[in-house]
Amino acid sequence: MSEKQKQVELPVKEKEPYFTAKTTKKKSRLMKCTYNECVNTFVAFPHARFCEYHKDPSTRPKEKVVEENTMFKFPHKFSGRITIERACNCCGKPYQIEIYPEREDYPCYCKDHQNEWKRKHWRMTHGEK
């Protein structure tokens, strides 16, 4: 055989035992704090959301949600059950309410708008805020 035809033996790579698990390392990244108006950047794992300062819950207070009052007070001295008609606060369509003795709170909205989502959707489709 000539020198060109000689076979070169490549080093044999040993196989890893079947019971060793390959681990994936989480890579740290340069992240931006997601708190309102915070411009801090920090190095952390991809799932981190806040910088060192905003990581503490006391530094990021919760915003209080103002709930809309869906009931109206109707003080009366009726002794029996009475049906009255009232206009919906959302669409203005008349709807009926049954007045009971010793009860003063009644809904402000018709059956179509008693749900908060339905009121919001109706206002969006009719150009109101």
8 Å CB contact between 46 and 26? yes
Q: What is the pLDDT of residue 90?
A: 87
Q: What is the pLDDT of residue 29?
A: 85
| Residue 52 structural domain | 29-58
Pair (51, 79) in one structural domain: no
Pair (51, 85) in one structural domain: no
- Name the domain count of the chain: 2
Q: Return the structure tokens found at 127.
A: 């150009």
Pair (54, 81) in one structural domain: no
> How far is 117 from 125, CA to CA, in rounded Å?
12
Pair (38, 78) in one structural domain: no
Q: What residues contact 13, with CB distance under 8 A and at least 6 apart?
A: none
Domain presence at residue 76: yes
Pair (79, 118) in one structural domain: yes
Domain presence at residue 2: no
CA dihedral 79, 83, 86, 91 (to 10 degrees): 140
The residue count of the chain comes to 129
Pair (54, 95) in one structural domain: no
Pair (47, 89) in one structural domain: no
Q: What is the pLDDT of residue 63?
A: 80
With left for phi above 0 and alpha for psi between -120 and 50, is residue 37 left, alpha or beta?
left
Pair (82, 117) in one structural domain: yes
Pair (79, 52) in one structural domain: no
Domain presence at residue 63: no
- pLDDT tens string, the chain, 129 residues long: the values are 555 555 656 666 666 555 555 556 667 888 899 988 889 899 888 888 899 999 898 888 888 888 888 888 989 888 899 999 999 988 889 999 999 988 899 888 998 888 888 888 888 888 765
